Structure 1
């Protein structure tokens, strides 16, 4: 859900300059060569998952649809391109009327993917499709990396909620996108109000160490916070001495204190001590929230600790060591002329060094075993085998330039939970390993 769903005003700038210059110079050259109008098929995929990851998570699709809708060369953008001499007047005239009029198919947002999966397919003229390459990759690479890290953390956390709190560790706009991706991956809330405003993600937050240091005593700080926010608030107890702070917190707020937060130290040891102390003080329902540079491995190590929620920042918004999904946007088929009925011809990059691609407009399906568990990602061209017809993964997102697949984040979030649950159990292992599903190719044209 975005601010339009909330009845709030939205000012959406053009996304046309979220691109690399060579997209425009290719357009100019293709217009002069008479090839710009050739019907073309581009696909987004990754050749490999980050080292040790068992699956990827498709995230950012909703933001891609927004970006495509707002990819417009308005007066200011055209003036910039003219003043900088980026392209010639003929190309500027063409850009002035640019509206994407093609079709986009893709894996539903929240779905999982594997090496070679055609995560998104963009179809239209070469000219209108090539311009979208950079912005599509920028969004999908960032959001999918964050969502994959979030999914691993969510799996490690089990039923315990996760709070996204990484806004201060990344670019201010990336922070909003990261919150959205984290929510898809299984986080339940964010500290970032911009993300709450833009996407209606639940927001949380109480106080930092500065608030405690502001007051003459820790007890004074706790009293001020409880007087303002009520006994159900969360008090930060590791500014000075944790044991003394827990005692003061319960004395100030009473046994109905909502939660305490621990942000430093040996979290496993401290959590056990704090839980014991809270119980002894009669605050048996007071929860323990832990923060402090957590990642999926640290969260897993706290599985046996009496922790009720985790707050994660830096490791989440940087993809837990993998800040990109390494997706690419490749031309896989094009017509031999600009005639509307010209047949598509598979094309593919053949260079060495692990950067080859497979030509042809592809379909993808997930084959299940006898128990209904996914066992392979099957990708092919041409006709889909009858046994896989009901398991196809790509769905229409844009038809004739019109977005037809708007979804709420809660639908996407639930889809991811279901997709992850449908994978073999080894998908959630944090130990390094190969993708949990093999990628199989069927009906791929010879020479591709």
Structure 2
């Protein structure tokens, strides 16, 4: 399926078999509310970052069932003629509220609330979970990396370590979380993310020696390019790089070895060669812990791939999509292992006068809790009667929201070490 195609079949079979049964027994039209939330944060995480809201709205606009889709469902015997006729006219006509992108979430936060008929809402479950479980996991990991980098720019370069469409979504989530750029050109085209990249080891190996390879790259890209100097011997590589580009060489990149020691040696050598303005870029199996360990080293930027696109050990956010209200009546699953709270909910975050966040309060939407002068209600309208509202935010706005949210978190909650969530969730 191309990104421009319909998204109706990006779902699980049981969504449509539930729909078929509900249409047959007359319950499909009952007014329902579903909530998307995480019961807990991934192990070792102290906060989650909301990402994927914009992508879900894009997917929702194309959540249709084309003739080809319906033919495939009929051929496989997934549902019968009555359900196929209903799907042919499907358009979501309900309401959606949710946390805006770049907001923090905690256990129990109602990140997304979908209200409509059972039929039109239940079949969005898999799509919503696919988007949020991926994008929130990537953005949460990326935010930790940005914090560990201490203001030094990070480059997202994980496209070769994940599915081709997941690579684009990962680049978007990473940029939202504060990464400076991506190597993925489709992410640049689709979302306006700055792109960067120069050459891999294959380009050096193509030539008879490093000096020839570097001279070729400089001739093509200019002296401000970044030269990869660890194909052979790094000391000789740096020497050849400066010889090819001159002291105005933009940057060198080191992709392997003891990165801290090599960064120190590289900085000293570059300075001796007169290339004092040449930046040192490190890559190679970096995660937030490795980045934090390098903070004292003379590093100017980091390139992150595998750990970013896999959520740095937490590839899913653990979100669930649960029915919480039917015709205004709260409903909830009571399994001891997977208990949920019934009723449509909202949330606010309490703050000290200084701006430090205190706690997350989740309450029944029809019973608002008193808000203090510094408190803030978190969910915002996203879709009303099937139509998007408030317009789509830019990624720059989401980046700024996350920056402000992280500034408000108590400093203990920003540690990379294991611990309780940065904010306690209180259920009103």
Q: TM-score, normalised by structure 2?
A: 0.98
Mapped to 1, the partners of 2:188 and 2:218 lie a distance apart of: 24
2:377 aligned with 1:385, yes or no?
no
Q: Deviations over 1:176-209 (max 9, x none)?
A: 0000001011111000111111111100000111
Counterpart of 1:4 in structure 2 is: none
Aligned mate of 2:29, from 27, 33, 37:
37
Q: Counterparts of 2:352 and 2:173 in 1: how far apart (Å)?
A: 30
2:408 counterpart of 1:422: yes
1:55-94 to structure 2, matched below 5 A, reads 55-94=47-86
Structure 2 distance, partners of 1:65, 1:407, is: 11
Instruction: State the Cα deviation string for residues 147-169 of structure 1 (Å, max 9, x = none).
Output: 00000000000110000000000
Partner residue in 2 for 1:400: 385
**Aligned equivalents of 1:151, 1:244: Cα separation in 2:** 36
1:313-328 matched pairs, under 5 angstroms: 313-328=305-320
Unaligned segments of structure 1, at least 5 residues: 1-9, 336-343, 443-448
Q: Residue in 2 aligned with 1:367?
A: 350
Q: Describe the SS at the equivalent of 1:275.
A: helix
Q: Is 1:435 aligned to 2:421, yes or no?
A: yes
Looking at structure 1, the residues matched to 309 and 106 of structure 2 have their Cα atoms a distance apart, in angstroms, of 22
Say which of 346, 349, 372 aligns to 2:330.
346
Structure 2 residue runs without a partner (length 5+): none
Tell me if structure 1 keeps the 8 A contact 2:176–2:399. yes
1:70 Cα deviation (Å)? Answer: 0.6
CA deviation string 1:84-110 (max 9, x = no partner) = 110011111111110000000000011
Tell me if structure 1 keeps the 8 A contact 2:414–2:422.
no
SS of equivalent residue, structure 1 residue 98: coil
Which secondary structure does the structure 2 equivalent of 1:386 belong to?
coil
Alignment of 1:107-126 (within 5 A): 107-126=99-118
Which residue in 2 is equivalent to 1:228? 220
- Counterpart-to-counterpart distance in 2, 1:420 and 1:55: 9
Q: Spell out the pairing of 1:331-342 with structure 2 (5 A cutoff).
A: 331-335=323-327
The aligned counterpart of 1:338 is none
1:11 is displaced (CA, Å) by 6.5
Q: Secondary structure at the match of 1:18?
A: coil
Deviation of 1:422 (Å): 1.2
For 1:116, what is the secondary structure of its paired residue? coil
Q: Distance in 2 between matches of 1:363 and 1:49?
A: 19
> How is 1:17-416 mapped onto 2 (pairs within 5 angstroms)?
17-335=9-327, 344-353=328-337, 355-381=338-364, 382-388=366-372, 391-404=376-389, 405-416=391-402
**CA distance in 1: counterparts of 2:128 and 2:118, whole angstroms:** 15
User: Does the residue aligned with 2:324 lie in a helix, a strand or coil?
Assistant: strand
How many angstroms apart in 2 are the aligned matches of 1:206 and 1:327? Answer: 37
Partner of 1:339: none
Work out whether residues 39 and 319 of structure 2, in 8 Å CA contact, stay in contact via their aligned partners in 1. Answer: yes
Q: Distance in 2 between matches of 1:241 and 1:223?
A: 17
What is the alpha-carbon distance in structure 2 between the residues aligned to residue 238 and residue 32 of structure 1?
A: 66
Deviations 1:107-126 (A, max 9, x none): 00110000000000000000
Partner deviation per Cα, 1:302-360 (whole Å, 9 max, x = no partner): 0000000000000000000000000000000011xxxxxxxx0000000122x110001
Partner of 1:3: none
Is the 8 Å Cα contact of residues 366 and 388 (structure 1) preserved in structure 2?
no
Q: CA deviation at 1:228?
A: 0.7
Moved over 3 A (4+): none
CA positional deviation for 1:391: 1.0
For residues 251 and 80 of structure 1, the distance between their equivalents in structure 2, rounded to whole angstroms, comes to: 61
